[in-house]
Each structure stands twice: as C-alpha cells, then as structure tokens.
Amino acid sequence: MKNRFLYAFLSAFLFGLSTPLSKIMLSEVPPVLLGGMLYLGSGAGLAAVSFFGGKKKRFDVADLKWLILSIICGGIIAPVVLLFGLNHTYSGTSSLLLNFEAVATTVIAVLFFKEKANKRIFASLFLITVACIVLTVNFSEKIAFNSWSLLIVLACLMWGMDNNFSKKMSENDPVTIVMIKGISAGTVNVILSVIFEKPIVQLNYIAFSAVIGFFCYGVSIVLFILSLRRIGTSRTSMVFSSAPFFGAVVSFIIFRTWPDTIFVLAFSILAIGILVLQKSDFQK
C-alpha cells in the first residue's frame, strides 16, 4: 500500500468499525438518536482535541460557504432522507443503492469541480462498486425499486456533494471542520429523535455511542479530509468505499463467524480495483 493512500485506508477502517459497533448499540439506542450521538461525539471529542491541542490554523472565511453546504447536505439532509428511504425500502435494494455514493462523488468531482480522471480511475470505480454490491446485497431477498428508493439515491447524491465541498475547504484545519459539522449535524439529529422517537436510554449507552462517534466518525472524517488534500476527491472516495470490508472483518471477530465465499469473491474484486486505482497515478 502506498503511503499516499494511508489516510484514506485508515479513514475507511475506522468508519467500517462503526458498523458492527453500531449494530450492537442499536439494541439499546433508537437509530436517529444513535446517529445524533455519533455526530455529537465526533464534534465534542474534536472540540476537546482542539482546545488542548494548541494553536490551530485559522479557518478561511472564504470557505465558510463550503462548510455550510457540507453541513446541510452531508450532515442534515442525507441522514434524514436516508432514514425515511430505508424505512420503506427492501434491505437488498437499500444496500445496492448505497453504493452509489462513490459513483456520485467521482462524477460530481469530474463534471463540476474539474478534477482530472483517466480510464483506470473509472475502471477502478467500476470494480470497487461491483465488490461493494457483491458484499452488501443479499440476493436472496427481494430487490425492487419504488419512489422511496429515490430518497436513498438522493442521500448518496448529498454525500457525494458533501465530499466535494469538503475537498474545497480541505486546506483548512480538518479538526475545526469536523468539529463544527459534528456538533451541528448531531444537534439536529438529537432534536429529531426527541420529537419523533421520544427515547428513554441509559446514560452509559449514550456515552459509549459518543465514544464510537469520536473515533469512527470524528477521527475518520479528519483523516478523510487529509486524504482529500493528498490524493483528491475521486481517489479518496473510492478507497473509502472499502469501509464495508473492514466492517465485515471486525464483525467476523466480534460475532465469531467465518468469511463465506461471497466475502472472498467481493474482497478479491476490491483488491483488483484498489490495485488498478494505485496504477492510475502512472497514467495521466
């Protein structure tokens, strides 16, 4: 693995870790509240890091518009519409559509933000997307598209825009960016949970959710932004697509299961896609 891809892989690993940990927490914490605490945990934790970490680079006011758009698209609209979409869509369909985020990110980067991409990058995007589909879709379940499915596509589109907005302000201090995004998005989600879920949850589960949020969301997104600086939006988003595989590996350990043939096949396709992505740096 090339060093220049390290931040992206570490970001994907931490975010992938959130899947099995969140699955455990969902037995005690309602989904919208859990999402809110994950975001708040990331924001509050990074606020502490920022406070005790000494002098930080000042945020460029000229990039404030990108931060606001990032919060609205990726922190507020995307999670809310995703929850409504998931609630009315078959899980097989949902898993299939969620792989659209990497595609949306790359297409937006190339078409609207003029990021350079070559044939190898698009070949890698195709392979990684296929790998994620093979891993995450349960083909034994019904796959059907309806109007609610469009909300999942919209969520992926919002996250694709969020990723590109993050690239535009990536030269700023990433801790400050993620801190503001986490606190803002987390507050909105917690308010939505109080209104619609009316949760009654023990404080220790709330605290643990926040800790997961700090590492799996906060630190992960900081690394994601650092990777945006280093290798660009399309490459970062494609490497980040490997997060489900890291989540699956951790799940094997936590739940004491063994990888099946589908996982081995998907992982093999992913490995080829990542190799093609790395080779793309030599084809301009």
The three state secondary structure string of 236-275 is HHHHHCCHHHHHHHHHHHHCCCCCCHHHHHHHHHHHHHHH
Does 282 have pLDDT greater than 50?
A: no
Reported confidence tier of residue 69, pLDDT bands at 50, 70, 90: very high
**How would you class 2 by CB atoms within 10 Å of its CB: exposed for 0-12, middle for 13-18, buried for 19 or more?**
exposed
- 167-195 pLDDT per residue, tens: 999 999 999 999 999 999 999 999 989 99
What is the reported pLDDT for 108?
A: 94
Reported confidence tier of residue 284, pLDDT bands at 50, 70, 90: very low
Reported confidence tier of residue 40, pLDDT bands at 50, 70, 90: very high
What is the reported pLDDT for 73?
A: 94
- 105-115 pLDDT per residue, tens: 999 999 999 89
| pTM summary value | 0.86
- 82 vs 19: CA distance, rounded Å: 16
The chain-wide mean pLDDT, for the chain, equals 88
Does 98 have pLDDT greater than 90?
A: no
For 209, phi then psi, to 5°, come to: -60, -40
- 120-164 pLDDT per residue, tens: 888 988 998 898 888 877 777 777 777 888 898 999 999 999 999
- 15-36 pLDDT per residue, tens: 989 988 988 888 899 988 998 9
- 255 vs 261: CA distance, rounded Å: 18
Reported confidence tier of residue 274, pLDDT bands at 50, 70, 90: confident
Highest mean pLDDT among 27-31, 41-45, 188-192, 264-268: 41-45
